[in-house]
Amino acid sequence: MAKKKIGLPPLDWLRVFEAAGRLGGFSAAAKEFGLTQAAVSQRIANLETWLGRTLFVREARGVSLTVEGESYLPLVQDSLQALERNTEDLFGKSPRELRVAGLSSHIYALVLPNLPEFLRMRPKVQVLTDSVARRSSLDEEKTWLQIRYGRGTWPGREAALIAQEVLVPMAAPGVEWGTPLVDQRGERPGWRDWAAAAGMDDLPPARVSFDSMGHAIAAARQGMGVVLGSVPLASGQLRSGQLCRLDLPKLETREGYWLTWPEDRVRSKKQRALIDDFLQALRE
């Protein structure tokens, strides 16, 4: 195939080629753009004539990229993404909405107390929250900006630390060490881990046990005993005096609370600036 043109091919041809290469066929590309398969095939043929190279192998079962097509595809994808990102930065409107998903206890403890500061920083932005019942549900949640608990490593996602998890004995005012413990089951270190780290031999008995840190903190706030509570999740109640830290050692962990999003989702500087402001408010 002789080279017929030089320079940059028409953008429409490049976009169709990128879709066909990414989706693995002309039919899928046609569906994405609302075109006929014949129209997609014609645009690809025009691009191949322009370049003087064959980009797809046509077979009875479908099409596949040639070696030259495989080499050209990532270059086209990077260029189209850069063009979209720079166009959005230059001409796009500032985001008017921020939507975040997380466990109800995380929304309550980490987002709500810091919303006034964020809304002061971004007075034209509307905030929407989506609560999930279980951490596993976050993988299926459509809201892409999420608050997660863990060590900050999730495949395909970026993560920024909001607060490191720190556990301390805490209780309602007037409740002292030696009263029954409030137990919290789950992946966090528990009372036995705390006792081993603190060098404590004997622990008071536990009368109640919860599978939620939020419920365990609420039980302690009602005077039901001493909880090994999360400082980030109980910070508001500690500040208000509803809970008090006991004069006992704290237990630092390797986990934390993170603001996360898909690696390919935050494309423009304006989107990133919005997330940075939200993160700054959450860290307050």
Query: Rounded to whole angstroms, how far apart are CA atoms 48 and 58?
Result: 13
The 10s digit of each residue's pLDDT in 216-252 is 999 999 999 999 999 999 999 999 999 999 999 999 9
Mean pLDDT of all residues in 25-48: 93
Mean pLDDT of all residues in 93-120: 90
CATH architecture type of domain 97-161+257-283 = 3-Layer(aba) Sandwich (3.40)
Class of domain 164-254: alpha beta
How high is the pLDDT of residue 96?
Answer: 84
Query: Rounded to whole angstroms, how far apart are CA atoms 19 and 137?
Result: 30
The 10s digit of each residue's pLDDT in 45-79 is 999 999 999 999 998 888 999 999 999 999 999 88
Q: How confident is the model at residue 186 (pLDDT cuts 50, 70, 90)?
A: confident
Quickly name the fold that domain 11-91 has.
Answer: Arc Repressor Mutant, subunit A (1.10.10)
The 10s digit of each residue's pLDDT in 195-212 is 999 998 889 999 999 999
Exposed/middle/buried for 150, CB within 10 Å: 0-12, 13-18, 19+? middle
Q: How confident is the model at residue 30 (pLDDT cuts 50, 70, 90)?
A: very high
Q: pTM value?
A: 0.69
**Do the beta carbons of residue 92 and residue 268 sit within 8 Å?**
yes
Residues 6+ apart with CB under 8 A from 239: none
Q: Do domains 97-161+257-283 and 164-254 have the same CATH topology?
A: yes
How high is the pLDDT of residue 90?
Answer: 61
Mean pLDDT of all residues in 122-130: 93
Q: Which sequence spans correspond to the domains of the chain?
A: 11-91, 97-161+257-283, 164-254
The length of the chain, given as a count of residues: 284
Query: Rounded to whole angstroms, how far apart are CA atoms 171 and 224?
Result: 8
How high is the pLDDT of residue 95?
Answer: 73
Query: Rounded to whole angstroms, how far apart are CA atoms 18 and 88?
Result: 20
Measured on CA atoms in the order 86, 92, 93, 99, is the torsion positive or negative?
negative
Query: Rounded to whole angstroms, how far apart are CA atoms 128 and 17?
Result: 37
Mean pLDDT of all residues in 161-182: 97
Could you write out the three-class secondary structure of the chain? CCCCCCCCCCHHHHHHHHHHHHHCCHHHHHHHHCCCHHHHHHHHHHHHHHHCCCCEEEECCEEEECHHHHHHHHHHHHHHHHHHHHHHHHHCCCCCEEEEEEEHHHHHHHHHHHHHHHHHHCCCCEEEEEEECCHHHHHHCCCCCEEEEECCCCCCEEEEEEEEEEEEEEECCCCCECECEEEECCCCCCHHHHHHHHCCCCCCCEEEEECCHHHHHHHHHCCCCEEEEEHHHHHHHHHHCCCEECCCCCEEEEEEEEEEEECCCCCCHHHHHHHHHHHHHHHC
